[in-house]
Every structure is written in structure tokens, then in C-alpha cells.
Structure 1
Amino acid sequence: MSNPSAEDEVVELCSDLIRIDTTNPGDHSGPGERKAAEYVADKLAEVGLEPKIYESHSKRSSLVVRIEGTDPQRDALLIHGHLDVVPAQKEDWTRDPFGGEIADGCVWGRGAVDMKDMDAMILAVMRERLRQGRRPERDIVLAFLADEEAGGKWGAHWLVDKHPELFEGCTEAVGEVGGFSLTLPNDERLYLIETAEKGLAWMRLTARGTAGHGSMVHRDNAVTALAAAVQRLGDHAFPIQLTKTVRAFLEQVCDATGIEFDPADAEKIVENLGPMRRMIGATLRNTLNPTVLEAGYKANVIPQSAVAQVDGRFLPGHEEEFFATVDELLGEHVSREFIHHDIAVETEWDGPLVAAMGAALRAHDPQARPVPYTLSGGTDAKSFATLGMKCYGFAPLKLPKDLDFSGMFHGVDERVPLDGLRFGVRVLDHFLDHV
């Protein structure tokens, strides 16, 4: 019996991976990635590779393997994906979030776009190429990683710190949240390739006061101090600051739509992006969002302390002023510490790798207009950038015009179109022929 093609296999691989629950609540209480890593290892071993699984913790498993290229003089390319997913409440979903069901032209489930779709595409393309004896010119390092959804401390960060030799020679990296299509109101189709992402500052805020009886006059109240600080943070509007990547993206949108580019009215340009305006709009400025509040244990007891958590994101090149603003808003009675802190990254929109991504997209969608963009969230690219790699988000998908793609990330009823997966396989295969 002949082997299935990558296009035929990618749907099954994606569905299989979704059915392996790799929920990462952020505290090692989930099932971990080991079962998924073993699944990937078996699939790669079937085509002659010898992948190795690395455990930073009993619940945190990553897999890395190198495919040797035909030209040892060339630099290596890293292609990475993560195996963990955020939690999902089954009762909120139309379909089982860990069922991997195929319905209505999509694969449904947690991880369908974040990012077991890309994991499946990588597997399908590499399996087909290796079965056919199609070795790349340059070394390709494949990494299927743990813990990305909790900041990557026990995944990409750990591997970079403890096993940097795995990535020897890698000068460029390709990962998630890029290469997907965005159809504009005039039917122009942009393909957003990530060349930058905001920095991350998950912070724990603490206010301390004097404990006492709730019936008495009490000016030194930790809850009041914290609530006031949280209100200031939540209400603060950072100014618009157009980084080079954001500006380049907006200029491309204006060129595609015939809108005049006015940097003083960037928000008006973003309004043309439909649901994607939420993600892109967040890249116009630094952001702060209070997310958790904890204080007290009884209605008539004033607690000695109160705690909040805040999700802060800062633009490349603007970290120092971001934290200066945070500290000013907190005031003298509230302290902060990091739950997780990571860098912003930004790379250039030029060079042979960028050209290869664009050519691969246009080869399979003649209407494609590849454009650089900044991701409002974060990926494992942050870890690999510390090794000097130029990092890009390129998980190609041709999407229906009406699909709220950004709403799929960490959302309910996450799903990926079957046609999008097959398109992604074709584009990735073409890309690998020209890198």
C-alpha cells in the first residue's frame, strides 16, 4: 500500500494531537506533554529520524531532532512548535474540546490553531519529504516544545539554558502565529508574517496595611489601596507609538485598500481589519490589563494585605518607559513583583528567508500579499532570539474571509479549516525547497 501524501495525512495528525490532552494550567497540575511528545517521536522515527525527548520536570516534555542537510557549510534553520494548550471547559463548547472531531469542514478542539495545526503540518511535510529522500540543503532542527502557554520556562527557555548545543548553527527560526491570511473589505488578501512581538510582564501587585475590625474607621486599608492602584492601571491609556514593524504593516494595509496613511490616525486604519483589529490594535501601544484580585477572608475583618495580578505587554524598544509608567501608577503603597517577565523581539523584513516565505505563499495563492506584523502576545521566539536567531511566525493558513481567526486563540470552539491545513502543507513544502 502506498504512503499517504502530506495533504492526506495532516488532518489525521492534527486530530490525533488534539485528542492527546496537554492542558497546561501553569502550575504542573495538568497531564503534561509526555504522551504528545512520544506520539511525535514515533511519527518521526517511522521515517528514519532519532528524536530525543527532554524532561525539565516530570510534567514538562520537549522533543528535539536534527535533520542533516546536504550542504554542511550552510547555517541551520530551526522550525518549532509547542505541544501544550490552555485549559478548556467542555460544557462551554459545541464539540468536545479534546475530541479532535472533523465537522463542517474543520478540525475542532483545543490546540486546533494554537498550535497543533502547525505541529501536524510540520510532521506531515517532514514525513513525506523523508520518505521521498528529499533532504534539505541546510540542517533543519525540529523542536516540539513544552510549557509555551505558561511562558516557556520549562520548555524553550530551559532548553536554551541547559542544552544550547541542540541549536548549534541555527541563525533563523520559524514558529507560530504568522503566515495566515486576512481578507480586507475590498477582498485583498494579506498574509501576516510575524517579525516582532511585544514583551511580557505578568505582575503580582501587593498592598499592605493594618488588619482590624470592619466596623471601625480604618484609613490604612490594604484593599482600598490596591483597588485604587488597579483602577489607575486599568484606566490608563498608553500613547500610540508606531514601531517600525507596525508602521510597515499599516502602510501595507493602506496601500492595499487605497486609504491614505496617516500615522496620527492609526486606529482608524485598524478599524478596517474586522475582528483582527483586536490583536493588531493592541500593537499600537503598550497595554495593561488587571486580571486577578485576592483579598480578605471575612466580611467584618480588614485584611493585612491584598493582592492583584496584571498582564502587561510592552512594545519593542519601549520597556523602560513602560515600567516607569507602571510604577508611577502604582504609587507608594503598592509593590510589584514578576510572575513572568520576558523580552520583546523584532527582526528585519528582508533577506532570503523572507523572500522564500513570500514566494511560497504566492505560489499557492496568486493573490497573496505577504506583510510583516507585530504579535500582541508572545511565543517561544523570545527564547530563541536570545541565541541570536532571527525569528519569524510562519504557520501558513488560507482562511475563510468570515472566520474570526484571532478569536480562536484561547477561545471557545477553536477550530481550523481542513482546506487551510492542506494549503499550509503545500506552502511549507514549497518553502523548504527554497531555504
Structure 2
Amino acid sequence: MRATTLAILLGTTAAVAGFPSAATAQDRPDQKAFFEIYKELVETNTTLSVGSCTQAAAQIGARLKAAGYADSDITYFSVPDHPKEGGLVAVLKGSNARMKPMLLLAHLDVVEAKREDWTRDPFKLVEDGGYYYARGSTDDKAQAAIWSDAMIRFKTGGYHPKRTIKLALTCGEETTFAFNGAEWLAKNKPDLIAAEFALNEGGGGLLTEQGERKTLFLQVGEKAAQNFTLLATNPGGHSSQPTPDNAIYQLSDALKAVQGYEFPIRFTDTTRAFFAGNAAAQPGPMGDAIKRLLADPTDTAADAVVSANKTFHSVLRTTCVATLVNAGHAENALPQRAIANVNCRIFPGETVDATLAKLKELAGDKVTVTANQPIRPTAVPPTLDPKILGPAKTVAAKHFPGVPILPMMSTGATDGVFLEAVGIPVYGVPGMFIASDINRAHGLNERMNVKSLYDGRDYLFDVVKAYAG
């Protein structure tokens, strides 16, 4: 679930003109080998409805074995009631037992895609106009292919890292109610994925409308996604004799109360650094308002200016929004039932229970509020660790000179929340630049900029080696 914060258009950050064309992006033999991994992965349907992550994991496992990994280096996992939602963990042993392992995380599953809605077959990789088009071309099979390719290149190239490198390819990230491989590993096989830190999706880079590199983002923290049900019930009756006690009106009043409530502003070290960078980059009323808000989070006038940017608004606080409504049973009857789903993105450190308590308070005594299963863990913000930020910036200066890196907190959610719950800090790596439309991830005609993919692959290969030693 590629982080929506990447859609921010920062006003005065550096750009690199003359972004190279896609024509030269696949010339090297190693790039052609990578493309075969990427193509096979993208064209393997891994939707929840008809696809198989287990098949995709087996294909990657076969490639790892062909590269020289032993059976003991590769662990496949699934559960009997979800046989097609499996994944794998692969291990490249390090030479220094005193260094804790690092984990490369990516999810294999993709959002559903209907052929009749797409311009092209969503499960056939097509290159057109400097882009690869297909479901999962960005989210998250680009990352999964890059990590898998790196593990293969490490083995075939004779690279011996000091730090053990682990790869986890999982299923279930895109669907709340699906079997989630990252959660299963964290709960059932924590030793298998134990690591000092994990590198995941969520970071990246932003391209201008002209295709110029604008900003790199390192994701340091994310919100926790949680759904809640609001329910109003009533005996109902004939619509010719209405009463004030109406389930639809009661639910409407509760939803309006939720709409009108602003959760308090919170800052983590990451979001404080993020806004400080934006204040410096945006002179004028916005930059001034950000500075005032950093100094005083209760400054409502500054909040009004900053929160006019919908992404800034969401980075500042927990948000809750109605996403589904169903009410009534007949056009000539008073409603007996009115129900709504409210989707909340909970700020790191804040809990589901506290959010539920606030929603109950807002809804009043005529509407019941419950937290939907599954209950997500409390989001734990990683630290702005120089051991993580330093190599990311150093390697970026080589690959993307002149492009600044900002730490950010995602307003979305990834599988990182499950690893953080068992003590593994998770960072969304920069490297792959995308357009302001988030490469249409989750939507129609999802696409990946060809040059960005290969440049990102080179960057991420080097940055993993920088961390591994």
C-alpha cells in the first residue's frame, strides 16, 4: 500500500533536470535478468479472489535455489485454511554474529483489477511511453522483485555480508480481512524474521509533472488503520406516521459529530522533522504557519492554514471518516436499522481503545460503536536512527545528486505495524521515483516509470550493501 504522503507537492525542493529517457534503462545484462523476475511476478495473479501468493512465492523460491541457496535457507509458509496466501522467508548468512540481521520486507498480493475496466489486461506487463503497465507494477511487486533480485545477485556474485540479510515475501497486506503473512510470522515465527530493523515499502521519491526528480522520502513511522461500525436500531413502523426516533437520523447525527471533530495535533520526531523541512522549503503564509504550529500545536489559526493541505492535515493527527453506509429496508417503512463504517487512521502511540472511546462519546447514546475485527496493533514510531538515515543519504548522494531526503510518516498503513509490535523498527526506503498520481496504485492502469524502476533497483542494491557491510 504505497504511502499516499508521496503525493505532496513540495514547492521549492531541488529538481534534477533532463530525467533520462526509458530507452536506455534495460541495456545491461543484469537489468534484463531482473526484468524476467519482475515480469513473472507481475503476471502471476495474486489477487485474493482468484490469485495465488503461494505460487508467486514458489517461483521466487525456485529462482533463489537456482542461484545457489540451499533448502535450509528458504522457508515457505502458509496455513491450511488459506493455502493460496502463503509466502517465503530466505536467509543470506552474515559473517559477523555480533551484528543483528536486517530484514527486507515486501508483499506479493495486489488489489483486485477487472479486465473490462482497464485499457489493457491488468495481468500482462506492457511497456508503453516509458512506463510499465500492470496491476502490481508499483504496489508492491516492484519492491518484491528488487529485493528478490538483490538476494540472487548477492549469492551469484559471491557477496559475503557482515550482517545476515533476510527476505520476507508475504500475502494479505491489501485486504483487511485476509490472512496476513507478516502478522502470522510476527506471532508464530518471530525468530525466523528477527532483525535489528526492516526495510519496507512506503518511502520513495516524487517526480515533477515534467519527469524531474524532486524529493526523496524515507518513511519513518506510519498510522494504524482501524475500522469501526456505527449502528442505530429502531422498531420502525409505517412511513405515513413518522416519529423523531428515526435510525437514519440518529446515525446521521452521529456521523456529523464525527465529521465535525478534529483529533488533537500530535508530533513525533519524524513528523516534526518533516514539517521543519517543509517550513524551510515553503516561504510565505504556509511556511510561517508551520513554524507557529511547531512552536504551539494548539494554535488554531496556524492549524487552519496548514490543514488546508489535506496531506498535512492527516500527518498532524488521527483522522476518522465515514466510508460505507447502509440503512432502511423498504421505501415506505421507517428504518429499523442504519449502519455505517468509519475508517480511522490512528496516529502512532494512540490506541484503538482510546479512539473507540472518543467515537462513542461523539455518537451519543442512540448509536452503538464497535471496533471491527481485526484489531490492529498500536503503531510504534521508529526512531530517526542515524544508522538508518546516514547510509540512505550517503548512497542517495551518489545515485541522485542534489535531491534532498526528508523523513516522513505515512498517512496510510503497511505491514510494518505488525513487525513494530514485536520490536522490529520498520523503515520505508527511498529510491523509486513516482508521479503525483502515486502511479495509479490501487486504481485503473497502474504503472511504473521504467527509468525510475531500474534506477531505484540500483540504489536499493547499494543501500542494502551499505547496511549489511
TM-score (norm 2): 0.82
- 1:244 & 1:73 partners in 2: Cα distance? 29
Alpha-carbon distance, 1:269 to partner: 6.2
- 1:305 & 1:296 partners in 2: Cα distance? 6
Tell me which of 42, 48, 60 is aligned to 1:18.
42
Alpha carbons of 1:253 and 1:31: their partners in 2 closer, same or farther (altered >3 Å)?
same
- 1:124 & 1:267 partners in 2: Cα distance? 46
Question: Where in structure 1 do 4 or more consecutive aligned residues deviate above 6 Å?
Answer: none
Q: Is 1:69 aligned with 2:94?
A: yes
Alpha carbons of 1:257 and 1:214: their partners in 2 closer, same or farther (altered >3 Å)?
closer
Alpha carbons of 1:395 and 1:47: their partners in 2 closer, same or farther (altered >3 Å)?
farther
1:299 corresponds to: 331
Alpha-carbon distance, 1:157 to partner: 0.9
Tell me which of 137, 144, 149 is aligned to 1:112.
137
Please list the CA deviations of residues 69-110 of structure 1 after superposition, one character each: whole Å capped at 9, or x if unmatched. Answer: 121221000110001111223333333222221111111122
Alpha carbons of 1:184 and 1:351: their partners in 2 closer, same or farther (altered >3 Å)?
farther
- 2:181 & 2:84 partners in 1: Cα distance? 11
2:371 corresponds to: 338
Contact 2:222–2:379 (CA under 8 A) maintained in structure 1: yes
Please list the CA deviations of residues 293-332 of structure 1 after superposition, one character each: whole Å capped at 9, or x if unmatched. Answer: 1223321233432221111012123446544432222111
2:360 corresponds to: 327
- 1:59 & 1:299 partners in 2: Cα distance? 43
Q: Which amino acid aligns with 1:10?
A: F
Tell me which of 155, 163, 180 is aligned to 1:130.
155
SS of structure 1 residue aligned to 2:412: coil
SS of structure 1 residue aligned to 2:466: coil
Taking only the aligned residue pairs, the percentage that are identical comes to: 28
Contact 1:200–1:344 (CA under 8 A) maintained in structure 2: no
1:262 corresponds to: 291
Alpha carbons of 1:114 and 1:267: their partners in 2 closer, same or farther (altered >3 Å)?
farther
Please list the CA deviations of residues 249-288 of structure 1 after superposition, one character each: whole Å capped at 9, or x if unmatched. Answer: 12112334555552434675688xxxxx654542122211
Tell me which of 415, 419, 424 is aligned to 1:380.
415
Alpha-carbon distance, 1:354 to partner: 2.2
Alpha-carbon distance, 1:381 to partner: 0.7
Q: Which amino acid aligns with 2:180?
A: W
Query: How many residue pairs align between the two structures?
Result: 419
Contact 2:216–2:430 (CA under 8 A) maintained in structure 1: no
Contact 1:210–1:220 (CA under 8 A) maintained in structure 2: no
Question: Which shows bigger deviation, 278-287 or 420-429?
Answer: 278-287
Contact 1:175–1:393 (CA under 8 A) maintained in structure 2: yes
- 1:266 & 1:367 partners in 2: Cα distance? 31
1:317 corresponds to: 349
Q: Is 1:392 aligned with 2:427?
A: yes
1:211 corresponds to: 236
- 1:281 & 1:409 partners in 2: Cα distance? 22
SS of structure 1 residue aligned to 2:143: helix
- 1:214 & 1:35 partners in 2: Cα distance? 54
Q: Which amino acid aligns with 1:344?
A: A
Alpha-carbon distance, 1:365 to partner: 0.8
- 2:380 & 2:433 partners in 1: Cα distance? 26
- 1:95 & 1:281 partners in 2: Cα distance? 36
1:274 corresponds to: none
Alpha carbons of 1:90 and 1:341: their partners in 2 closer, same or farther (altered >3 Å)?
same
Alpha-carbon distance, 1:155 to partner: 1.4
Alpha-carbon distance, 1:397 to partner: 0.8
1:413 corresponds to: 445
TM-score (norm 1): 0.88
1:39 corresponds to: 59
- 1:60 & 1:218 partners in 2: Cα distance? 50
Question: Which shows bigger deviation, 379-388 or 239-248?
Answer: 239-248
SS of structure 1 residue aligned to 2:99: coil
2:387 corresponds to: 352
> Gaps spanning 5+ residues in structure 1: where?
272-276
- 1:201 & 1:83 partners in 2: Cα distance? 22
Q: C-alpha root-mean-square deviation of aligned residues, in Å?
A: 2.6
